[in-house]
A and B are shown apart, each in its own frame.
Chain A
Amino acid sequence: MTTSAVSLPASLRPRQVLSWFGVAPFFLFALLFLILPTLNIVVGAFRNAQGQATLENLGKLFSPSIQSAFWISIELSLLTAVLGCIFGFLIAAAITLGDLPRPLRNAILTFSGVASNFAGVPLAFAFIATLGRLGFVTMLLRHWFGINLYGSGFSIVSFLGLALTYLYFQIPLMVLIITPALDGLRREWREAAESLGASGFQYWRLVALPVLWPSLLGTLALLFANAFGAVATAIALTGSSLSIAPIVLFAQIRGDVLNDPHLGYAIAFAMIVLTAIANGIYILLRMRAERWVK
Chain B
Amino acid sequence: MTGKRFWSWLAVAFGGLYFLLPLVGMFDFSMRMQRGAYSFEAYRVVLADPQFQQTFGYSVVLALLTIVLGILIVVPTAYFVRLRFPGLRPVIEFITLLPLVIPPIVIVFGYIRIYNTSSILPLTGSWWGTNILLLFGYVMLSLPYMYRSVDTGLRTIDIASLTEAAQSLGAGWARILTVVILPNVFVSVLSGAFLTFAIVIGEYVFAALLNVDSFGPYMVWMGGNRAYEPSALAVIAFAITWACMGLIQLFTSFSKFSTVRR
Contacts and interface: CB of A to CB of B under 8 A. Distances in A.
A38 B241 contact: no
A241 interface: no
A126 B22 contact: yes
Nearest to A225: B101
Interface stretch (A97-105, A144-152, A186-194, A205-213): A97-105
Contact of B245 (A5, A95, A114): A114
B8 A19 contact: no
Majority secondary structure of chain B interface residues (helix, strand, loop or mixed): helix
B143 to A, nearest CB: 8
A127 B21 CA distance: 9
A29 B234 contact: no
A117 B4 contact: no
B209 A250 contact: yes
Contacts of B7: 94, 98
A53 interface: no
A120 B203 contact: yes
- Scoring B98, B106, B216 by chain A CB atoms within 10 A of each residue's CB, the highest score goes to B106
Majority secondary structure of chain A interface residues (helix, strand, loop or mixed): helix
A138 to B, nearest CB: 9
Contact of A94 (B12, B19, B209): B12
B104 interface: yes
Contacts of A104: 12
A22 B77 contact: yes
Given A130-B22, A271-B106, A1 B81 contact: no
B223 A236 contact: yes
Interface of B: 1, 4-5, 7-9, 11-12, 15, 18-19, 21-26, 28-30, 72-74, 76-77, 79-81, 83-85, 88, 92, 95, 97-114, 136-137, 139-140, 143, 164, 167, 170-175, 195, 198-199, 202-205, 208-209, 216, 219-220, 223-224, 230-231, 233-234, 237-238, 241-242, 244-246, 248-249
10 contacts: A3-B173, A34-B102, A35-B95, A99-B5, A117-B241, A118-B237, A168-B18, A232-B205, A232-B216, A261-B113
4 interchain residue pairs of minimum CB distance: A37-B110, A98-B8, A130-B25, A3-B172
